[in-house]
Structure 1
Amino acid sequence: MTDVELARIPAGTVTLHDARRKIRRTVELEPFEIGVFPVTQEQLGEVLGITASHPRRPAVDVSWQRAVRFCNALSEWEGLDPAYAVDGEEVRWHVDSDGYRLPTEAEWEYACRAGSTGPHYGPLVEIAWTAADGVASPQPVGGKLPNLHGLFDTLGNVWEWCWDFLDTERYDDYRVFRGGGFADDSWSVRASVRRGGGPRMTHEDVGFRVARGGFDAVDAAQGWSASADAVAGGRPLPPGWTPRRPGGGPGTRR
C-alpha cells in the first residue's frame, strides 16, 4: 500500500474562536502525529477497494462516516488498535488507541498554523489552491509550499473533516471541516474558518487528513470531551437563534 506519511507535531497551545457565541478558548495539546498530505484517491482506493481516477489528488466526496471507517481499516491493515467503535450511526473514539483517526479541531488548527498567528501561514498564492488559481477540481497533493511543520495543503485544495461537532445547538449532528477548498476565495481559506456537514454528507471539495496519538484519558483529549458534547445541546438558545431547516446548507463560516 502507498504509505501514509505522518509529521510529528510537538506539544503546545492553540486558541480557538467560536464567532457565533463570541467565545475564545485556549487548548493545551500533547504531542501527536498528523498526515503530511490529505488522504489521496490512491490511498482511499487501496484501503476501501475503490477505483482511483486521479491517484495523487485528494480523496473527495467522502463522508465523515466513511473517513472514520477508512481510519479503522487503515489501523487494522497496519496491525494497530482501531481508534473508533462504530455502531450504526454512533461512533465512539477510544482516546487511548494508537490507531489512525481524524484530528480534533484543536489539533487541526494548531498543526495548520505551525506557529503563525495570522489567517495564513504564508502568501496564499504560494501555499494554497483557491479560486484565484481558476482550477475546476482538486489538484495533486504537494503542489504548493508546506507550512513550518512540513504539512502540505492544509489551506486550500480541499476542506478536511475533523472529529468534533460543528455546533449542536444549531446544526444537530454536523461535524466540522476546515481549511478551505479549490473553489473558495481568500476569505474562506483561513486557519480559523470552520464549516461543517452531516456525517453522511459528501462534497466535491471535502476530504480529510489522518492523525495518530493515544492519550491517557477516557472520552476526552486534545480539546474535545464527550461530556461537553453531551451538554452542548442543552445550553440556553443564543439571541437570534433559528433552528436549521431540514435539508439545510453545509454549515457556517467564521
Structure 2
Amino acid sequence: MITVPAGRVTLSDRRTQRSWALDVAPFELADCPVTREQYEGVAGDRHPAHSVSWFDAVRYCNELSAREGLAPAYRWDGEDVTWNRSADGYRLPTEAEWEHACRAGTDGPRYGPLDEVAWHRGNSGERLREVGRLLPNAYGLYDLLGNVWEWCWDVYDAEVYGGYRVLRGGGWFDEHWSCRASVRRRSHPTLRIDDVGFRLARSIGG
C-alpha cells in the first residue's frame, strides 16, 4: 500500500459539462489492481482480477479485512451497502481519491506518455496484461490508466442512473481517449465484464 498525500482535486463530467472541486485527506492505495493470485488464489498470476462486480469487490474488501484482523469498512443490509468511515479495513477508493492519486500532482490528461504507462487497445494486443509492467506515476502507483477499469465507491448520478457506480481509468480494449485521469464511466454494481477490476484503499487514522 502506498500513502497518498492530502490534496484538492477537480472532477468533471463530460455528459453534464459540470465540474466540482473536492478536498482529499491522506489515505493508502494499493500500488497495483488486485490480481488473480490475490482474488482467486491462482498462484503466480499477476494479471488483474477481472469480471468482478462492484458487490464482489466490496465483499472481497470485507473478507480481506476480517482475515487481517481489521474492522470491515462495509455493512450490508440486503443489497444496500453502507461505509463505516471510521473503520481501518480495506475499501474501494472514492472517485476523488482515485483521480487525485492518478494525477499524482500532474494536471494533464495522463501522468506520462500513454504507451509507457497504460495498456490500451493500441498496445495491449487486445488482452489483459500483468500488473506493474509499465511505468508508475510519481506516487509509485501502477496501471491506474489502462489494463482494467477500476470500481470506485461513489454512485455516478443517482437521479439519472440510480445505483450505478463509478468506474475509472480505462481498459485494455479502450481507445486512447478513454485512458485519461478525468474520464468517468458508470455501470450497474452487478456488472461482471473482462475489462473491469478494482484496487484496494484504506483510510489513515480510522
1:157 aligns with 2:151: no
Q: Against the structure 1 CA distance between its residues 134 and 155, is the aligned structure 2 distance closer, same or farther, given a 3 Å change threshold? A: closer
2:160 maps to 170
Larger radius of gyration: 1
Quote how far apart the aligned CAs of 1:21 are: 2.8
Return closer, same or farther for 1:10/1:134 CA change in 2, 3 Å cut-off.
closer
Equivalent position amino acid for 2:12 in 1: H
SS in 2 for 1:187: helix
Question: Taking structure 1 as reference, are residues 159 and 92 closer, same or farther at Cα in structure 2, changes over 3 Å only?
Answer: same
Cα offsets for 1:206-247 (capped at 9, x unmatched): 00001000577xxxxxxxxxxxxxxxxxxxxxxxxxxxxxxx
Which residue is equivalent to 1:30?
Answer: 25
Deviation at 1:144, TM superposition (A): 0.5
Q: Take 2:124 and 2:184, find their aligned partners in 1: how far apart are those partners?
A: 23
Question: Match for 1:100 among 81, 90, 99?
Answer: 90
Superposed displacement of residue 19, structure 1: 2.6
How many Å separate the matches in 1 of 2:40 and 2:124? 27
Secondary structure (helix, strand or coil) at the match of 1:161 reads strand
- Counterpart amino acid of 1:26? A
- Cα distance in 2 between the residues matched to 1:112 and 1:172: 26
Letter of the structure 2 residue corresponding to residue 102 of structure 1: L
Contact 1:56 1:140 in 2 (8 A): yes
Q: Structure 1 residues 54 and 129 mapped into 2: Cα distance closer, same or farther (>3 Å)?
A: farther
Secondary structure at the residue paired with 1:131? coil
3-state SS of paired residue (2:174): coil
Q: Aligned-pair distance for 1:134? A: 4.4
Supply the AA of the counterpart residue of 1:69: R
Q: What's the offset of the Cα at 1:135?
A: 1.6
Task: List alignment gaps of at least 5 residues for structure 1.
Answer: 1-5, 47-51, 217-254
Measured after TM superposition, the shift of residue 194 of structure 1 is 0.8
Of structures 1 and 2, the one with the larger relative CO (CA 8 A, separation 6+) is 2
- CA distance in 2 between counterparts of 1:152 and 1:194 reads 19
CA-based RMSD of the aligned residues comes to 1.4
Q: 1:137 to 1:20 in 2, by over 3 A?
A: same
Identical columns (%): 54
The 2-side partners of 1:128 and 1:196 are apart by 20
Q: Counterpart in 1 of 2:102? A: 112
**Are residues 1:211 and 2:193 paired?**
no
Aligned partner of 2:13 in structure 1 is 18
Matched, 1:69 2:59: yes
Q: 1:53 to 1:202 in 2, by over 3 A?
A: farther
Per-residue deviation at 1:54? 7.1
Retained in 1: the 8 A contact 2:26–2:204? no
Length-normalised TM-score, structure 2: 0.96
Aligned counterparts of 2:53 and 2:43: Cα–Cα separation in 1:
18
| Residues 1:9 and 2:4 aligned together | yes
Change in CA separation of 1:92 and 1:109 when aligned onto 2, cut-off 3 Å: same
Structure 2 unaligned residues grouped into runs of 5+: none
Distance in structure 1 (CA, Å) of the matches to 2:125 and 2:160: 33
Rounded Cα–Cα distance in structure 2 between residues aligned with 1:206 and 1:195: 11
Partner of 1:234: none
2:60 equivalent to 1:60: no
The number of aligned residues is 206
